[in-house]
Amino acid sequence: MSDSDTTPTDTSADALRTPIVAVLGHVDHGKTSLLDKIRGSAVIEGEAGAITQHIGATAVPLDVVSDMAGELVDPDDFDLPGLLFIDTPGHHSFTTLRSRGGALADIAVLVVDVNDGFQPQTLEAINILQNTQTPFIVAANKVDTVPGWNPNEDSPIKPSYDAQSDRVRGDVDDRLYSIIGELSDQGFSADMYWRVQDFQNNIGVVPVSAMTGEGVPDLLAVMMGLSQRYMKEEMAIDVDGPGVGTVLEVKEERGFGTTVDIVLYDGTIHEDDTIVVGGENKPIVTDVRALLQPRPLAEIRTESRFEQVDSVGAAAGIKVAAPDLDEAMAGAPIRVVGDRDLDAVIEEVRAELAEVAVDTEEDGVVVKADTLGSLEAMADALSEAEIPIVRAEVGDIAPRDVAVASTAEDELHRAILGFNVDVLGDAEDRADVEDVKIYTDDVIYQLVEEYDTFVEDQRQSQQ
């Protein structure tokens, strides 16, 4: 940092924050591997400590992107600080949603296995990206497994691009074009990324291997370019302002009680700040007891896995320890009160929660989901299928849900649909006794289909 950066006149307000990237895709298509590869390569490429570990996220700074991407990224062309990848594992793609103003993620990578093409969760992810108007690129993954794959180490465009024929060598070419075709079936104009000029209106397809790392620099370069070109204005934040973020996960942590892992997308959060967090029944008002970051592996002794920090600015992933977080919800907003009126902030959080619009009826099925975003997506799907909902909540399926479902007047509504949630033991037993059907799945449309099949069967048996 030069002296001029730290002069008192530089308030650091209106700084440009790191774009937040979500990685989505069907199970087993390689989301985790891709994130691991990006993390791993960045660690090898960058100097020690160049890549910062966050809670639930990994930051890849511009200089590391540039080191990895070579001539594809000249750091002088950029003023965004890098990329922040949300790496909440598993099915938490829906945590990329925030109710107000679209997605938590500024940009997304849709991972598609070239051998497998589009699958249910691919389509579900596309649906979400469309609804939240999140720009995305496609990582056509596992190219190393395709017969005839022949990486061209010398080419600036690594994935075996042959300029003469304007094609990718080997059988992979056909598979890449079939992905482009599938995108086009979904209403997108798409092409191989090196032919895309306008990433706002076209989806770039980047052939990659999360295994060998091929194409990963290209992927980073495209994302960096896309963010710089189309998102710079949205990245301008008041870093000194009160922190605003989204809860990724609610977790019990030894010594700290219930904590929330959040991604902060605006402002700064400090220790002792008063915060308002979206809760199951009402907004939770509490004070930050500790802000926790993962401790570098080398430093972990017998002590805590976490390092305590005084404050953190957007964009960042951080664990917040505070009293009374038991009812906090994944996907809910978190806001620092700062010197603003507490009631006004509570009202903002309440309004954000209310925007997760779930219309409930007098009689209908019970819906449970792992996050607010997925609950909203479930409600949309059920409304499309004209299935009424009596109650919709975030959380595992508990006995009280069975109690609610068992009061349904219409026999067909004695059902609980759970998306990405567990069924608590007592609930299962109780459902047996009360003759309440429980359906769980991690693909929304399959869940709706299972319930529909039950409805059909019932109707037929009544005839």
The minimum distance between CB 149 and ligand GDP, in angstroms, equals 10
Q: Are strands 415-419 and 365-369 parallel, antiparallel or unpaired?
A: parallel
Over the window 132 to 151, marking each residue x when it contacts ligand GDP by CB under 6 A and - when it does not, the resulting string is ---------xx-xx------
**Across the chain, which distance is largest between two alpha carbons, in Å?**
82
Q: Does 79 show up as a binding residue in the annotation?
A: no
For the residues of 76-104, what is the DSSP string, one character each?
GG--S-EEEEE---TTGGGGGB-STTSBS
Q: Is 200 in the site for ligand GDP (CB under 6 A)?
A: no
Residues 9-28 that bind ligand GDP (CB under 6 A): 25, 27-28
The minimum distance between CB 22 and ligand GDP, in angstroms, equals 13
What does the buried/exposed string (b/e) look like for 357-392 if buried means 16 or more CB atoms within 10 Å of the residue's CB?
ebeeeeebbbbbbbbbbbbbbbbbbbeeeebbbbbb
Q: Does 331 show up as a binding residue in the annotation?
A: no
Q: Is 213 in the site for ligand GDP (CB under 6 A)?
A: no
Beta strands in 215-340 (DSSP E): 236-237, 244-253, 257-266, 268-270, 274-277, 284-287, 290-294, 306-309, 311-313, 316-321, 333-336
Q: Is 438 in the site for ligand GDP (CB under 6 A)?
A: no
Handedness of CA 315, 318, 324, 330 (dihedral sign): positive
Q: Is 31 in the site for ligand GDP (CB under 6 A)?
A: yes
For the residues of 120-187, what is the DSSP string, one character each?
HHHHHHHHHHHHTT--EEEEEE-GGGSTT----TTSSSTTTEETTTTEESSTHHHHHHHHHHHHHHTT
Total residues at interface with ligand GDP (CB under 6 A):
15
Q: Does 32 show up as a binding residue in the annotation?
A: yes
Q: Does 150 show up as a binding residue in the annotation?
A: no
Distance CA(228)–CA(72), nearest Å, equals 14
The minimum distance between CB 36 and ligand GDP, in angstroms, equals 7
Q: Does 36 show up as a binding residue in the annotation?
A: no
Q: Does 29 show up as a binding residue in the annotation?
A: yes
Query: Look-up: residue for tokens 């199951």?
Result: 280
Q: Is 209 in the site for ligand GDP (CB under 6 A)?
A: yes
Q: Does 413 show up as a binding residue in the annotation?
A: no
Q: Is 211 in the site for ligand GDP (CB under 6 A)?
A: yes
Output 119 or 304, the one with its CB closest to ligand GDP.
119
Q: Is 210 in the site for ligand GDP (CB under 6 A)?
A: yes
Over the window 95 to 134, marking each residue x when it contacts ligand GDP by CB under 6 A and - when it does not, the resulting string is ----------------------------------------
Q: Does 141 show up as a binding residue in the annotation?
A: yes
Q: Does 58 show up as a binding residue in the annotation?
A: no
The minimum distance between CB 34 and ligand GDP, in angstroms, equals 7
Output 121 or 268, the one with its CB closest to ligand GDP.
121
**Within 10 A of 213 (CB to CB), how many other CB atoms are there?**
18
Residue 380 is classified by DSSP as H
The minimum distance between CB 192 and ligand GDP, in angstroms, equals 18
Q: Is 30 in the site for ligand GDP (CB under 6 A)?
A: yes
Query: Cα angle vertex 402, ends 392, 371, to 5°?
Result: 30
Which one of 15, 32, 162, 383 is in contact with ligand GDP (CB under 6 A)?
32
Q: Is 186 in the site for ligand GDP (CB under 6 A)?
A: no
Distance CA(53)–CA(106), nearest Å, equals 19
Residues that bind ligand GDP (CB under 6 A): 25, 27-33, 141-142, 144-145, 209-211
Binding-site residue numbers for GTP are 25-32, 87-91, 141-144
Binding-site residue numbers are 25-32, 87-91, 141-144
